[in-house]
Amino acid sequence: MAASWLLVLLGAPLALFVWAALHLPLALEQGALIAAAAMAGAAALLAVPTALALRALPPAWRWAVLGLALVPALLGVPLGWDIWAALPFELPDAALALPLLQALLPVATLPVLAAVGAAPPGERRAAADLGAGGWARFVALDLPRLWPGLLGGFALALVMAAAELALRLR
């Protein structure tokens, strides 16, 4: 049951892409996939301090602030690029990465915040009580919990970045 569902979920789109690669003029831009992975990695790493900063806010505010930060992502990266290009001063080409990063960061922060926010509150107090300062608490308590969120954030950001950068129908 589960296996056949997974076959439909994963197999059908994959088969479609294989067919597309063979029959349609798909173009993989030079280095674009690598650039997408690099952008996703940067977004996932930046998501950690972002999530920790959000966690310092009162619980009701965390998701509201993150929701506001998602607006650039919701409006779409192409719009960001257009706005960037319309700015009344010259920007170096590398600065073109910024609108993308701006859209990726809040998306990557979503799973990271969900992961660090799950820590039981008394745990931090107990760790401080046993002599663990801020950095030691981060390494001992937050980091082990962060991994799943970090991977999820990277995956989300990679999907988004690859969609923007990598593949186009010519």
Partner 1 sequence: MSLLTLDAITLPAVAECSLSVAAGASKKKLGAGGAALLAAIGGHAPLTAGRILLQGEDVTHRPAERRGTATLFGPETLFAHLTLFENVAFGLRRKGGGFGGIARRAELALDLAGLRGMGNRRPHDLDREQGWRAALARAAAPFPDALLLPEPPGFLDAAIRALRPRDGGAVLLALSEPERALALADRIAVLHGGRVVQCAAPGELWERPLNRIVAEMLGPVNILAPGDAALSAEQPAPLYALRPERLRLVAEAPAVNGGAGVVEAAEFRGDSALLTVRGVARVALRVRVPGHAVPAQGSTVCLAWEARALAPLAA
CB 104 within 8 A of CB 157: yes
d(CA 105, CA 122): 29
Contact between 141 and partner 1 by CB under 8 A: the answer reads yes
Contact between 132 and partner 1 by CB under 8 A: the answer reads yes
Contact between 128 and partner 1 by CB under 8 A: the answer reads yes
Q: How far is the CB of 146 from partner 1 (least distance, A)?
A: 11
Contact between 125 and partner 1 by CB under 8 A: the answer reads yes
d(CA 158, CA 142): 23
What count of other Cβ atoms lies within 10 Å of the Cβ of residue 164?
A: 21
Binding test (CB under 8 A) with partner 1, winner from 25, 58, 92, 120:
120
Contact between 157 and partner 1 by CB under 8 A: the answer reads no
Contact between 136 and partner 1 by CB under 8 A: the answer reads yes
Q: How far is the CB of 151 from partner 1 (least distance, A)?
A: 16
Q: Which stretch binds partner 1 (CB under 8 A): 44-52, 82-90, 94-102, 120-128?
A: 120-128
Contact between 130 and partner 1 by CB under 8 A: the answer reads yes
Taken in order 75, 53, 118, 145, the sign of the CA dihedral is positive
From the list 81, 63, 64, the residue with the least C-alpha distance to 72 is 81
Binding test (CB under 8 A) with partner 1, winner from 25, 59, 88, 131:
131
d(CA 96, CA 169): 22
CA angle 159, 39, 157 (to 5 degrees): 30
Q: Which residues bind partner 1 (CB under 8 A)?
A: 120, 122-123, 125-133, 136, 140-141, 144-145
